[in-house]
Amino acid sequence: MIKTDILIIGAGPVGLFTVFEAGLLKLKCHLVDALPQVGGQLTEIYPKKPIYDIPGYPAVNAGELVDNLMKQIEPFQPTFTLGERAEVIERLEDNSFLLTTSRGTKINAPVIAVAAGLGAFEPRKPPIDNIERFEDDKGVAYFVRDPEVYRDKKVVIAGGGDSALDWTIFLANIAKEVTLVHRRAEFRGALDSVEKVHQLDMEGRIKMITDAQVVGLEGQDHLKEVTIKHKNLGTFAKEADEFIPLFGLTPKLGPLENWGLEIERGALKVNTYDYSTNVPGIYAIGDINTYPGKLKLILCGFHEATLMCQSAFKYIYPDKKLSFKYTTVMGEQGILATASKVAS
């Protein structure tokens, strides 16, 4: 059985940063994630996508951010159980938790931090009868994992949100041809992105088809064309090597629903004082939680993790005095020296 101070469910960016904040308080962390690698959505869905709202980085690729977080937490020697889903928790006689994963691994900790992002999620697929036939590298993908796959290809993107707009803009510089199809005339993404897409369309660098939907796919071993149904123009075929429907994700809490946690609109309700749930000793940070004014941003998750770790220390060591330290000492040894003094 694995023993640790804080059991972190989710090895995405917020879960990884939690290790750093806990490490400064000399708290050991073990992370569990259903994915076979760290990074969460950043690694699984868009590792090459640039992120613009991380302080100190004008832009940083999602994969690079994960690599940097791993370097940042290396001094604190976190341990991982990857490729296993958190299934069952029980409260032991000493008031700590025992978690059992989908493969029977058991982890014991006095505190659990749920940093599971959107939870278990599935892409929202368009209602096209044979769409599964073209999945698995045959022309249909619900996430852009590697933009180079689309270099010099004819790409059709469907959707009207930020993901569809962002990838249309990004792939305009890579693909041979990009066509954006949206069922409405108006887009629901960021205004700046909408303006950029319209500008690219005016310049002839992409083709935008609104009031339309992709309703069919054709091809043998690989996608060859899509069928588009337009509100006024009727149905017509469009040659395509790749089709990327970006209609968002359907989040599912999975086993978390059975843990006695208070749930609101598919997320875990928390107290914003320390991001604790209704179950003492269990916290929720990042996209998995909800509260008035919640913003689903990575940097907000970092803030939540910081306050959560302060509370977790007091929960684990109610009789110890917590001395806050500024993290201005440079270098690994300085960080470890700071951490060693905090919990004394």
| Single pTM value for the model | 0.67
Answer yes or no: do 104 and 56 share one domain. Answer: yes
Would you state the pLDDT for residue 85? Answer: 86
* Residue that finishes a domain, picked among 245, 268, 287: 245
Answer yes or no: do 38 and 90 share one domain. Answer: yes
Answer yes or no: do 88 and 188 share one domain. Answer: no
Strand, coil or helix: 289: strand
Query: Cα(111)–Cα(96) distance, rounded to whole angstroms?
Result: 7
Answer yes or no: do 289 and 241 share one domain. Answer: no
Would you state the pLDDT for residue 321? Answer: 84
Nearest to 40 by CA among 113, 121, 107: 121
Answer yes or no: do 80 and 139 share one domain. Answer: no
Answer yes or no: do 279 and 202 share one domain. Answer: no
Residue 330: band (very low, low, confident or very high) from pLDDT cuts 50, 70, 90 = very low
Over residues 62-116, the pLDDT tens digits come to 889 999 999 999 999 999 999 888 999 999 999 999 999 989 999 999 999 999 8
Answer yes or no: do 222 and 326 share one domain. Answer: no
- What are all long-range contacts of 337-343, with beta carbons under 8 Å and residues at least 24 apart? 338/24, 339/23, 339/24, 339/25, 339/26, 339/76, 340/26, 342/24, 342/25, 342/26, 343/25, 343/26, 343/27, 343/313, 343/317
Report the length, in residues, of the chain. Answer: 344
CATH number of the domain residue 208 falls in? 3.50.50.60
Answer yes or no: do 280 and 240 share one domain. Answer: no
Over residues 230-266, the pLDDT tens digits come to 999 999 999 999 999 999 766 667 788 889 999 998 8
* Residue that finishes a domain, picked among 245, 262, 292: 245
* Residue that finishes a domain, picked among 245, 280, 313: 245
Over residues 207-235, the pLDDT tens digits come to 999 999 999 999 999 999 999 999 999 99
Answer yes or no: do 102 and 136 share one domain. Answer: no
Domain count for the chain, please give it.
Answer: 2
Answer yes or no: do 112 and 13 share one domain. Answer: yes
Share the mean pLDDT of the chain. 90
Residue pair 115/14 in contact by the 8 Å Cβ criterion:
yes
The boundaries of the domain holding residue 185 are 125-245
For residues 268-294, average pLDDT: 96
